Every structure is written in structure tokens, then in C-alpha cells.
Chains A and B, each alone.
Chain A
Amino acid sequence: MRSAVFLLSFTISFLPWPVGVSAHDHDHMSHLMKAAEPLPGASIYNLTSSWTNQDGKRVTLESLRGEPVVVAMGYTRCKDICPMIVADMVAIEDRAKEASLKGIRFAFFSLDSINDTPERLTAYANDHGLEPAHWTLFQGDEKAVRELAAVLGVRYRRDASGGFDHSAIITILDADGKIVVQQPDVQANTEEMVKKLTTLFDAPVR
């Protein structure tokens, strides 16, 4: 499987500008070209599990490759910790916008493999005013959740009411999926996180 992916990437990297690619595909192409380089060994995109996003599309983590990503895990029925995590992420988004940091992605991975369907994730995104252009919410099976939680250091456990006890950690990944910084607290220090994000851009504005 891995070798097939590499083969494909290899092919893409050796193609000249592909025939039939219009100008507006440029961003997409540069993303693909970037993805053609092998992943660093510490990249969390080395996890090959597949996820379903809020649009019902099956994707791998590597689909996030190409831009810095602000990541957290939670679940939509969570009434206390998760809304605070998401609020912290939105605060980072707002500050990053003020700082003209463009192209940052925000990813929310559900711990609840059973209940957090794409429909519910969409509803959650709408309820919290998460801009679809920047935010992706993911549902994965138990194994996908277990592995991602393991690399992010998120500890979680189902409770008797069908919810979860879990740690609230916001992680910033660089464009290749390497962990740059983790904020292990709710009420994240937004400034600190935005400062880290700034370092991931060659120039503040692109």
C-alpha cells in the first residue's frame, strides 16, 4: 500500500505542468507537488487510517498536508470541555486573521466513532460558526481514533453515559504534519499559539 502511494507521488513529481490544468487549479497543483516529497518520519500523516469528513468524503490525514493545521480531538455531544477547545481554536483563527496569516487549516477529530456522523459534524460546525473554507471535522473508526490520540498524546475513555473523559489538547502541525507546539490546557494562550503559527510562514503575508 505504502509503495503504491509512493509510486504515485513519484510519478506526479516528474510530470511537467500537467496538460489541461487551468490557472485556478494552481493552488491545488502546488499542494500535490509538495505532497510528492516523502513525509518526515515524525509527521503524524504517517498514520494511514482513513477518516470521513463532514461532507461524507473519505480522506487520509495526509489530505491536510500543505498548510499548517490547528488540531484538536473531542466529540460533539461534549458539553463542557469541547466547546471551550473549539472556542480557543476560533480565537486562534481570529487572531491569525488579524495577523494576516492565510491558509491555516483547522481540524476537529471526533473521539465518538459511533455518533459523530458527517451530518452531526456539519450541524456542529454550523452551530459554532466554523467556516467551512478553513475547518474540517472528521469521523474515524475506533482504530483511527486510537492511533491519532496516541500520537497527539490525547488520553480518553468512554464514560457510563456514552460520553468521554478526555484531555483537552490543542496541537499545531506544520505543513508536513509535524507537531510544532501543543497547548495542554483549555483557555489556551492564543497569542503564544499565533506566534508559533507565524514562525511557520516564510513571510507573514503570502
Chain B
Amino acid sequence: MWTLAAVAVGAVAASAVALAAAPGQAPMARIPEGDFLPFFEQSPGKGKAPVAAAPVRMAAFRLDAYPVTNGQFLDFVREHPEWRRSRIKPLFADHHYLATWASDLKLPDAEAANEPVTNVSWFAAEAYCEARGLQLPTTKQWEYALADQGRKQKEIAQQSLDWFSRPNPKHLSAVGRGEPNGYGVYDLVGLVWEWTLDNSSFMTGTEQRNTSSKDDAAFCGSGSIGVRDPADYPAFMRYSLRSSLKANYAVENVGFRCEGDE
């Protein structure tokens, strides 16, 4: 990672080859196939009786071991000028896009290169992953990676709660500082929230009244039976955050990582 940072902050002229190769070298963890019980039951379909939640079979995939860093994202906008701050179309990102950067191609400081990129919209995250031949993980994949075959789930929950209780720091810490999970994935909680591919799938809030989805019920007392574990407060937080984001929002503490087929 330090190599990447050095390259990213380094000279523009030398960048072409090294930078083109750099994002592809981002280490990815292999997430093996397995069963997973999603947090929300799938809605049964219109007019059908609810069915008991059943585990779904997940195929194996690869997931970035770390959230994408400012340094890596800088490489991307060098290669793809249409994603630079001054050129971004409002359709794809609001005016907070890369707001912490000093300019189009300048990070606020050297440390930032190894910190997770934030203030990126869903569109920008998707474009970054696509440029690497990858895509954003689905919410199911992301949650499956976090579930980590049941390893250390209590610790993860506590880590999440501790994180929620801390105000956003002025400087995020560099990626990969904590312990990896059982798959070798770092920083799923505790550093930034992360975009998922189907972020727009989760319906809560005002649109809800127009649909037959039952997600909303999960957020009001008696409806909580529709979720995997009503006591899993961090999971509620993750899902409600996702549902509150629009695809062009560029938010202070939301970053992302990419996913690829095995």
C-alpha cells in the first residue's frame, strides 16, 4: 500500500504506466461460497403469504481487501478526466464530490493517499470498479463478507457500536490498520460506510407508501420480526444508511470497495 501511495503522490510524468497498473494490483480477498441468511426476508411477492427466512447460497467471489484509497482514486481520475471534480456532471455527483481534495489532481496532504476515498457518489464508485473490470459488491455479498462464517460477530457488533459513538475524525486512519477478518478483508466496519451495487434496492421512507414492500415495517416496533435478528442494531444502521443515500450523493464518510467474479 505504501508503494501505491508513493506513486500516487509522485510525479505526474512518471504516472502513465505505473498508475495504470496500480489499481489492478489492489489486493483482493477470496470469499468462498457458502450459505447466508440475509438480514431482511425477501418479500414473498404480491398477494403471497410470507415465507420463513431461508439461507441463500452465495457463490464465491473476490472482494477488495481494503476500501479504495484517495491515492487509488486519484490514479483513476488521472486516467478518466470526466470523473475529475471540475468536470463531473451533476447527474453523477453532487457538489460535495471529492470535496476534501485540494484540487482536481491534488490530495489534501500526503497521508490522504492511504486513507479511504470518501465524498464519492455511487456513479463514481461504479465507474472506478468498472475501469478495473470489477463492480461494486451487492449488498448481499458485502454483508456475507462481514458475516465471515460467524467468526467474531460479537466483536464486530461491538466495534460497530464503538464506531457509531465516535464523531467523524478530521483525518480518517489509513486503510488496513486493524485486524483482517477470517477472509482477509480489512475495514468493513470502523472506517467508512460503503456503497453497494444495489444500494437503490432498499426501500424505506416516503416511497414506501407506494409499494407493497414490507421493509418499512422493520423500522417500526412490531414489524421487527421480518428481520434476521431484531437486536442487530448495527445491521439496522447499515441498511437504513444505504436506503437514505441517493446515487449522486457524495458523502463525507461513505467510500467503497470493488468486487469481482472468482
Contact = CB atoms under 8 A, between A and B. Distances in A.
Interface of A: 2, 41-44, 46-47, 79-81, 146-147, 149-151, 153-163, 165-169, 184-186
B55 interface: no
A146 B130 CA distance: 14
A160 B45 contact: yes
B261 interface: no
A161 B202 CA distance: 18
Contacts of B247: 150-151
Contacts of B248: 150-151
B91 interface: yes
B46 A154 contact: no
A160 B51 contact: yes
Nearest to A151: B91
A184 B46 contact: no
Interface string B225-248: 000000000000000000100111
A165 B213 contact: yes
B90 interface: yes
Contact of B202 (A2, A146, A157): A157
Interface stretch (B5-13, B111-119, B183-191, B193-201): B193-201
Contacts of B91: 41-44, 46-47, 151
Interface in B202-233: 202-203, 206-207, 210-213
Contacts of A154: 200
A113 to B, nearest CB: 13
Given A43-B91, A167-B207, A150 B43 contact: no
Interface string B242-258: 01001110000000000
A161 B210 contact: no
Contacts of B45: 159-163
Contacts of B211: 81, 165-168
Given A146-B200, A167-B211, A184-B210, 13 more contacts: A2-B82, A42-B89, A44-B91, A81-B211, A149-B200, A154-B200, A155-B203, A155-B243, A159-B46, A160-B43, A161-B46, A167-B207, A168-B211
Nearest to A42: B90
B51 A169 contact: no
Interface residues of B, number: 31
Given A2-B82, A80-B212, A155 B207 contact: yes
Nearest to A47: B91
A45 to B, nearest CB: 9
A168 to B, nearest CB: 4
B173 interface: no
Interface in B49-82: 51, 82
Contacts of A156: 200-201, 203
B89 A46 contact: yes
B42 interface: yes
Contacts of A186: 210
A117 to B, nearest CB: 21
Contact of A157 (B44, B92, B197, B203): B203
Contacts of B82: 2
A165 B212 contact: yes
Contacts of A169: 207, 210
B170 to A, nearest CB: 31
B201 A155 contact: yes
B122 A81 contact: no
17 contacts: A41-B90, A41-B91, A46-B91, A81-B211, A150-B247, A153-B207, A155-B201, A157-B201, A157-B202, A157-B203, A158-B42, A159-B46, A163-B46, A165-B203, A167-B211, A168-B211, A184-B207
Residue with the highest number of chain B CB atoms closer than 10 Å, among A81, A146, A154, A158 = A146
Given A160-B51, A184-B207, A185-B210, A46 B42 contact: no
